[in-house]
Amino acid sequence: MKIFVDTADLDEIRELASWGIVDGVTTNPTLVARSGRSFKEIIDEIFDIVDGPISLEVVSEKAEDMVKEAESLVSKISEKHRKNIAIKIPINPEGLKAVKVLSKKGIQTNVTLIFSANQALLAAKAGATFVSPFIGRLDDIGQEGMQIVEEIMEMFINYDIETEVIVASIRHPIHVIDAARIGADIATIPPGIIRKMVKHSLTDVGIEKFLKDWKKVKK
């Protein structure tokens, strides 16, 4: 399973990329606002840090405007990095129209705010490169979020659909394990959860004991 980092925090992206575990990045308007940086600063740097799909979200509501916004975003990225941009588009009729046009133009799309398998199926039909089911937000309202990932994977496998499934709105490390066991293509994970994934108290105790015992060894 590929790991994307779900943040617009450039320092976090740089640090986690240095661990060798980052295959891509997803952002959204909330994450950009939280980073405290301007959108321009983020897009100027993010493509230099990670050589993999980078999702940037449009905020227009009409298909025609989404397409224009997407093209304007693409034009802001240097030629050598353009292959990595994925335009994040919300699932609704206008979003589907925009995905159809962008996919014909060869621009990658990540259809976001997916809360049902049927939404994912329609996004894939329209030509989405990626679909992003938001599992944590479903869990929040008492629905089993991971179940729609299972349904989407099953449908996509049945019909050899190439659209990749990004498990998004991940809230804890168990979500990542579940996504990988289902065979999702990608999990997009907030930095805090990646840090929890690498940590185990027995590892810390083990390192401390080895270092303490090493001091007793005659060098």
17 vs 193, beta carbon nearer ligand G3P: 193
Q: What are phi and psi of 170, to 5 degrees?
A: -80, 130
The span from the CA of 169 to the CA of 75, in Å, is 29
136 vs 191, beta carbon nearer ligand G3P: 136
Which residues here bind ligand G3P, judged by CB under 6 A? 6, 26, 28, 31, 132, 134, 136-137, 168-169, 188
134 vs 156, beta carbon nearer ligand G3P: 134
- Supply the minimum distance, in Å, between the C-beta of residue 30 and ligand G3P: 6
- Supply the minimum distance, in Å, between the C-beta of residue 132 and ligand G3P: 6
- Supply the minimum distance, in Å, between the C-beta of residue 60 and ligand G3P: 19
Question: Among candidates 78, 57, 68, which has minimal Cα distance to 101?
Answer: 68
SS3 sequence, 180-217?
Answer: HHHCCCEEEECHHHHHHHHCCHHHHHHHHHHHHHHHCC
Q: What are the residue numbers of the active site?
A: 88
Question: Among candidates 188, 150, 148, which has minimal Cα distance to 54?
Answer: 188
